A and B are shown apart, each in its own frame.
Chain A
Amino acid sequence: MTRTLDDLQETPSQTAGPYVHIGLAPGAAGFDIYERELGHDIAGPNAAGERIRIEGIVMDGTGSPVKDVLLEAWQANAAGVYAHPESPGAVEGGFRGWGRVITDFETGEWGFDTVKPGPVAGRNGTVQAPHINLWIVARGINLGLNTRLYFDDEAEANAADPVLTLIEWERRRATLIATRSERGGTPVYRFDITLQGGAETVFFDI
Chain B
Amino acid sequence: MTEAEYYQRDRGRHPPARDEGYKTSVARSPNYPLISLENSVSEITGPVFGHGDIDPLDRDLLKNYAKHGESPIGERIIVHGRVRDENARPVPNTLVEIWQANAGGRYRHKKDTYLAPIDPNFGGCGRTLTDADGYFYFRTVKPGAYPWRNGINDWRPAHIHVSVFGHAWTQRLITQMYFEGDPLIATCPIVNTIRDKAAIGQLIAPLDRNASIPLDSLAYRFDIVLRGRRATLFENRLEGN
Contact = CB atoms under 8 A, between A and B. Distances in A.
Overall SS of chain A's interface: loop
Nearest to B1: A86
A160 interface: no
A133 B42 contact: yes
A123 interface: yes
Interface in A172-206: 172, 195-197, 200-206
Interface string B225-237: 1111000000000
Given A8-B84, A86-B2, A135-B172, A14 B190 contact: yes
Interface residues of A, number: 82
Interface string B52-66: 011100100000110
Kindly name the residue among B34, B167, B200 whose own CB sees the greatest number of chain A CB atoms within 10 A. Answer: B34
A167 interface: yes
Contacts of B112: 19
Given A74-B169, A86-B41, A97 B47 contact: yes
A9 to B, nearest CB: 6
B173 A13 contact: yes
Contacts of B54: 34, 36
B156 to A, nearest CB: 9
A16 interface: yes
B56 to A, nearest CB: 12
Given A86-B2, A203-B34, A121 B190 contact: no
A115 interface: no
Contact of A72 (B26, B87, B167, B172): B172
A122 interface: yes
Contacts of B29: 61, 140-142, 195-196
Overall SS of chain B's interface: loop
B121 interface: no
A41 B163 CA distance: 20
Contacts of A68: 111
B31 A85 contact: no
A205 B34 contact: yes
Contacts of B71: none
Contacts of B111: 18-19, 68, 105
Interface in A101-143: 105, 120-125, 128, 131, 133, 135, 137-143
Given A8-B88, A11-B226, A14-B176, A31 B161 contact: no
A14 B87 contact: no
A73 to B, nearest CB: 10
Contacts of B98: 23
B28 interface: yes
B155 interface: no
A195 to B, nearest CB: 5
A35 B55 contact: yes
B28 A123 contact: no
A142 B19 contact: yes
Interface of B: 1-3, 8-11, 13-17, 19, 22, 24-32, 34-49, 53-55, 58, 64-65, 84-88, 95, 97-99, 101, 107-112, 123-127, 161, 163, 167, 169-170, 172-176, 190-191, 193-194, 196, 199-200, 202-203, 224-228, 238-239, 241
Instruction: Please give me the 8 A-B residue pairs with the lowest Cβ-Cβ distance, nearest first.
Output: A23-B99, A140-B24, A98-B47, A84-B45, A140-B28, A142-B15, A61-B27, A205-B34
Given A61-B29, A203-B34, 5 more contacts: A15-B25, A16-B161, A19-B112, A26-B123, A166-B37
27 contacts: A8-B86, A9-B202, A9-B225, A10-B10, A10-B14, A10-B225, A14-B161, A19-B161, A21-B109, A22-B123, A22-B125, A24-B99, A30-B109, A31-B65, A36-B53, A74-B47, A86-B2, A86-B41, A97-B47, A123-B238, A140-B25, A141-B29, A142-B19, A143-B14, A143-B17, A148-B42, A202-B32
